[in-house]
Amino acid sequence: MTLVGKRHVDKAADVLTIFGISGDLAKKMTFRALYRMEVSGALKIPVVGVALDDWDDEALRKHAREAVESTVKEIDGMALEAMLARLSYVQGDYGDDATFERVKEALGGAEQPVFYLEIPPSLFATVVKGLGKAGLVDHAHVVIEKPFGHDLESARALNAELREVLEEEQILRIDHYLGKEPVLDITYLRFANSILEPIWNRNYIAHVQMTIAEDFGVDDRGRFYDSVGAMRDVIQNHALQVLGLIGMEPPSRNDHDSIRDQKLDFFKAMRIADPRHYVRGQYDGFLEVKDVAPDSTTETFAAVELEVDNWRWSGVPFFVRAGKNLPHKTSEVTAVFKRPPLLGIGHGKTPEPNRMTFRIEPEPGAQMRMFQKRAQGDDSFEPADMTVLFEEEPGCDPEPYERLLGDALHGNHTLFTRQDAIEETWRVVQPLLDDPGPVHPYKPGTWGPAEANSLVNGVTHWADPWLPEA
Ligand code: BG6
């Protein structure tokens, strides 16, 4: 049972209401997730879509069918029909009380609604207040899409507005990275293997590096992306949440808060970032993207060094880079161990350091790079990689939105970000937002501006990502 102030949210949801059902995220992700939930038997309740568009139930179903057809390869026709039959539509302006009265009517006698807000952030508070005024939130959970604020102050202000109507336990803040199976695997690999724990600290690890790279540009998201940039779009949230799992202490109980408490402690120990250790880049051609300001200085690439002041991590730099139009679509985090000393083997050469990589995509997996004697008589070293591919091992399903929506329907908070962690992560990056420094141009298809290499100079070089075998 989830305690919500004096309210009790003790049953699974009996209706899912999606604000922003006609938007891009719904088209690309939500209908696919709903369809997959229908196939797996996880979707058993009505789904009410709300938007401004002049649609009716049939128009929504047509749109949903097209969205599923364009995102799912082999469709189970019966499951698709069953999912479509759950959909109904409420048209309305979010600023108008009458919209919420119509939503109330559409919910019928539902007692435990989940409201999913996939709408522009400027409308989050308006919708939550509208729901409150219509008396719809007493036993509700409200799922809020990212971004949650655009800096520390706005995240606090947004939260204060939501809290006028909702208890913290009713707010489920989405970071879809936390719903990725390989991200969940990080915690299991770290803590279910006793050989890792003794070496997972500053005595053995020299530095950590993380890359979130995409091999495409901003495409049709110019307006949104120009107002955020790489730091706000993926580093403050996705990258830091993953580093939280890499760096946290083991959770002590299997409840909604243990992992979130441990990540929070890790974030609290993170120093505020230093703008001198921050590099921003912008790919050539970004200024020509539709809806991007012609003189925009928004970064499409960011690289930063972060530091953590605690017993486990003091003195271990965490280097993070993320960007659009880089050479590959890949997302990984690597712990690089200390170099072995010069040895009386291997032709007087020092072996390279070991590294342990968690690959989130493509082909999720983990790899420990060891070294062995080169085969056939040569006395030098060569890499000997120990690799686990999660697709063959723990498996890759369910997909992030499918998992997170399913968790929301059961009031399971574990994979949603709490306000305290959101504030800590904004605290860490705030100096970079206040003093972003220049933005350096880079050519699409390269690893960002050359300045990103200076960031790691003297400590390491950015490792080539671990890519699937061709
Ligand atoms: C989103 C960002 O949160 O994450 C996008 O807004 C980015 O810009 C996306 O492309 C990356 O997610 P994934 O799951 O494709 O790695």
Local confidence band at 24 (pLDDT 50, 70, 90 cut-offs): very high
The answer to whether the bond into 147 is cis (omega within 30° of 0) is yes
Instruction: Please give the Cα distance from 259 to 194 (Å, whole number).
Output: 19
Closest residue by Cα to atom 10, ligand 1, is 214
Q: Is the pLDDT of residue 436 over 90?
A: yes
Closest residue by Cα to atom 8, ligand 1, is 233
Structure-block tokens of residue 318: 């965490």
For residues 290 and 227, the answer to whether their CB atoms sit within 8 Å is no
Ligand 1 pocket member 236 (CB < 6 A)? no
Ligand 1 pocket member 296 (CB < 6 A)? no
Local confidence band at 5 (pLDDT 50, 70, 90 cut-offs): very low
Quickly list DSSP for 309-366: -STTTTT--EEEEEESS-S--EEEEEEEEPPPPP-SSSTT-PPPPPEEEEEEESS-EE
State the average pLDDT over residues 230-238: 98
- pLDDT value at residue 230: 98
Q: Is the pLDDT of residue 42 over 70?
A: yes
Local confidence band at 420 (pLDDT 50, 70, 90 cut-offs): very high
SS (H, E, C) 371-400: EEECCCCCCCEEEEEEEEECCCCCCCCCCH
- pLDDT value at residue 6: 42
Report the Cα 218 to chain-centroid distance in Å. 18
Quickly list DSSP for 407-449: HHHTT--TTSB-HHHHHHHHHHHHHHHHS---EEEE-TTSSS-
Amino acid at the residue 304: V
From the CA of 176, how far away is ligand 1's center (Å)?
8
Local confidence band at 41 (pLDDT 50, 70, 90 cut-offs): very high
Q: What is the pLDDT of residues 126-163, one digit of tens each?
A: 999 999 999 999 999 999 999 999 999 999 999 999 99
Q: What is the pLDDT of residues 442-470, one digit of tens each?
A: 999 999 999 999 999 988 999 999 998 87
Catalytically active residues, by annotation: 238
Q: Write down the H helix ranges in 48-107.
A: 57-71, 77-85, 97-107
Structure-block tokens of residue 182: 């390989």
Ligand 1 pocket member 331 (CB < 6 A)? yes
Instruction: State how far the alpha carbon of 56 is from the alpha carbons of 32, 33, 64, in Å.
Output: 20, 22, 12
Higher pLDDT, 216 or 348: 216
State the average pLDDT over residues 7-17: 77
Percent of the chain with pLDDT over 90: 87
From the CA of 233, how far away is ligand 1's center (Å)?
8
Instruction: Please give the Cα distance from 142 to 18 (Å, whole number).
Output: 10
Local confidence band at 190 (pLDDT 50, 70, 90 cut-offs): very high
Closest residue by Cα to atom 2, ligand 1, is 233
State the average pLDDT over residues 302-315: 98
Ligand 1 pocket member 181 (CB < 6 A)? no
Instruction: Please give the Cα distance from 12 to 409 (Å, whole number).
Output: 6
Residue 227, class by beta-carbon neighbours within 10 Å (0-12 exposed, 13-18 middle, 19+ buried)? middle
- pLDDT value at residue 7: 44
Q: Is the pLDDT of residue 3 over 60?
A: no
State the average pLDDT over residues 420-428: 98
Instruction: Please give the Cα distance from 306 to 244 (Å, whole number).
Output: 12
Instruction: Please give the Cα distance from 243 to 249 (Å, whole number).
Output: 12
Higher pLDDT, 377 or 232: 232
Please report the atom of ligand 1 found closest to the CA of residue 214.
Answer: 10
Structure-block tokens of residue 109: 């006698």
Closest residue by Cα to atom 16, ligand 1, is 331
Ligand 1 pocket member 234 (CB < 6 A)? yes
From the CA of 234, how far away is ligand 1's center (Å)?
7
- pLDDT value at residue 104: 97
Which of 174, 211, 214 maximizes ligand 1 atoms within 8 Å of its Cβ, making it the mutation to test the pocket?
214
Structure-block tokens of residue 401: 């939105």
pTM of the complete model: 0.95
Mean pLDDT is lowest, of 287-301, 376-390, 424-438, for: 376-390
State the average pLDDT over residues 94-104: 97
From the CA of 174, how far away is ligand 1's center (Å)?
12
Local confidence band at 392 (pLDDT 50, 70, 90 cut-offs): low
Q: Is the pLDDT of residue 254 over 90?
A: no
Structure-block tokens of residue 416: 């949603």
- pLDDT value at residue 82: 98
For residues 418 and 261, the answer to whether their CB atoms sit within 8 Å is no
State the average pLDDT over residues 334-339: 97
> What mean pLDDT is reported for the chain?
94
- pLDDT value at residue 396: 53
